Structure 1
Amino acid sequence: MRKFIWPCGVALLCFAAGVAVAVPPPPPPTSDASSVAAEAGNVLKAAQQAGVLRVATEPDFPPLYWVDEAGKEQGFEYELAQRIAKELGIPKVELVEGDYDKLPSLATEGKADIFMAGYVPDNSIEGVSWSDSYLDFGLCLIVPKGSPVKTIKQLKGKTIGAYEDPAATRWIDENIANRKAVKTYMGPGWLFHVDNREVDAAIYDYPLAVEEIKAFKRLQIVSFNLNKSSYAVGFKAGNPDLQQAINTAIKTIEASDDYAGLIKRYLPFKISQEVPEGSATYTIQAGDTLGKIATEKLGSPASWEIIWDLNKHRIPNPNLLDKGDVLIMPKAKEPL
């Protein structure tokens, strides 16, 4: 018996006992390779084979993601997702929009590969694993201009406003025990309650505060980095290869000048030039980094954290340092 293989879609002819018998071609596959991989639980392989990374995000969420008046998509997380996809060998990003609290389920149900919308890793969200941090940040303190409150120590007996987020309210409970009350709010424009003096101050994520405060000219941020927190990528649990790939991608991106550029573009906030009277200071020069300054002034690049600790209430992120900014420096030890 001989088989003649014809172009795709043409039946094969089998010659048996001198009689040609038409054999229909095999049916087309019911699913492509990416679907098979997805069904098997391998999210990374499915996305790579499909050539698309599906990212669940909240719509109209500046500075993390929004569409401008010209219809252009932009934002810190939008740009970061493009770079993560590239590092994963995936040429295209497709956004899957949804309400903030519904985004994890989009990933666990297979409707998205990952989700990004300013999520602090939360182990109480079932079926989800987290990447390493892609943005380290801290809560900040917001008060009306002219308020005597400059630090959280001055919130004794005050009423504090906070976005209705478990991470923020938990931090307030643990760190500001002598407050009068805490009021939580949901939705855009909630800083109105501070502006309207319904509360004395507000505690909020720095990345979101620097955008939303633009609409409230009578408010100011007086202290950054009240705590140490981070945003991370979420995805369906049981995908260690995806987790490792994303962590590697984030590490590569964060080491680039491009990452610092994203922070300056989307999360800018000019530091206060005011320093306490009698402070030792250093004015940043072109080409300076905290490590370089620490080496020259303190004798070790590892000492950059000493400088950072003295300035982090004024500077939301080390990547925002520019030529001409004034740093508070450790005072020289008095001679014996």
Structure 2
Amino acid sequence: MSQVRSRILGVAAVVSATSLALAACGSGSSNNNAASNPSGGPQLVSQGTLTVCTHLSYKPFEFKDSSGKVVGFDMDLAQAAAKQLGQPDVTIVDIDFASQTSGAVFAAKKCDMAMGAVTINDKRKKSVAFSTPYFSATQALLAKKSSGITDLSSLKGKKLGVQTDTTGQAYADKNKDANGYETVVFDDLPTEIAGVQSGRVDAAINDNGPLLDFTKTNPDFAVVKEFDTGEQYGFLFQKDDANAAKIKDAFNAALKKSIQDGSYKASYKKWFGSEPAVMPSVS
């Protein structure tokens, strides 16, 4: 999900239970359907496509357009990775965020990689492998312009919306006692934003990218504060797995190529309305 669309790991018991549940219900992603890349590349969970897990909607990184097609900045990179792997299509699996950052989706063979503006941190590295960082972000505070809220300190005695399992939630919890607000947890970004719109919460914290995108079409709202958390996003892969490492290498190669040929910059400008202030560092 700053960590545009940021998230934190679940406890081990939840991870284990999620893995078992996914394995039990996943007939379409079982090993029986796994297929080797015709060009001799890595084995994929489904033939003829790169299967990518995400948690919709997280505009402008991944969301459905008016036709129902999944588009966005992350999606452009996923399609570049599919091309690198010789695959004609990308198949999206919409699934909860925690099962991605825990690695449960990979244990259950649900997808080849996962995306969602996921902040790279040491806790998550214990469960999943990350690509080369592809995006820099911060946490941001969204509020109505008429609210008088300018910072966390303005929220004393008020309610702050957070998205579950994100770095935004972690940041809010860390600063809660010092600023005297109550946190209200939402399952995803759209319901969190709706909470601010309806007045259920006084403000919301999340990655700066999607919140800034929201304000473009909602002029009564503003990102009143950004917090320099120094976050970087990465795509997720199964940890300590030789086959997954090949898929990760293909993504990293596609990212490098997109930076070199200008397609990364073009995609960034398309989805964010400006050129990136800092380009990802790839070797």
TM-score by length of 2: 0.67
| Count of paired positions | 239
Does the 8 Å CA contact 1:139/1:204 hold for their aligned counterparts? yes
**Displacement of 1:139 after TM fit?**
1.0
Give the C-alpha shift of residue 90 in structure 1.
3.6
Q: State the partner residue of 2:225.
A: 223
Equivalent position of 2:180 in the other structure: 180
User: Residues 66, 193 of structure 1: CA spacing in aligned structure 2 closer, same or farther, 3 A cutoff?
Assistant: closer
* Structure 1 portions without partners, runs of 5+: 1-30, 38-42, 270-288, 290-316, 321-336
2:120 aligns to what? 121
Native 8 Å contact 2:156 2:181 kept in 1: no
Select the structure of larger CA radius of gyration: 1
Q: CA deviation at 1:205?
A: 0.9
CA RMSD, aligned part only? 3.7
Deviation of 1:178 after TM superposition, in Å, equals 2.3
- Report the TM-score, using the length of structure 1 for normalisation: 0.58
For the structure 1 residues 98 and 175, does the alpha-carbon distance in structure 2 shift closer, same or farther, using more than 3 Å as the test? closer
Which residue is 1:3 aligned to?
Answer: none
Q: Give the alignment partner of residue 251 of structure 2, picking from 241, 246, 252.
A: 246
Say whether the 8 Å CA contact 1:139–1:205 is kept in structure 2: yes
Say if 2:153 and 2:179, in contact at 8 Å, map to a contact too: no
The Cα offsets for residues 255-277 of structure 1, whole Å up to 9 and x where unpaired, read as 443212222222348xxxxxxxx
Distance 1:44 1:142, change over 3 A: farther
Q: Is the contact made by 2:55 and 2:96 (CA closer than 8 Å) also made in structure 1? A: yes
Any idea what SS the aligned residue of 2:129 has?
Answer: strand
Q: Which has the higher helix share?
A: 2
Alignment of 1:1-336 (within 5 A): 35=35, 45-47=42-44, 50-103=47-100, 104-121=103-120, 123-124=123-124, 127-152=127-152, 159-174=159-174, 178-186=178-186, 187=188, 188-213=190-215, 216-224=218-226, 226-237=228-239, 238-239=241-242, 240-268=245-273, 318=277
Which one has more relative contact order, counting CA pairs under 8 Å at least 6 apart? 2
Q: Which amino acid aligns with 1:265?
A: K
What percentage of residue pairs aligned between the two structures are identical? 23
SS of residue matched to 1:318: coil
Q: Distance in 2 between matches of 1:116 and 1:44?
A: 21
Deviation digits for residues 99-128 of structure 1, max 9, x if unmatched?
A: 333344332222311111232235358652
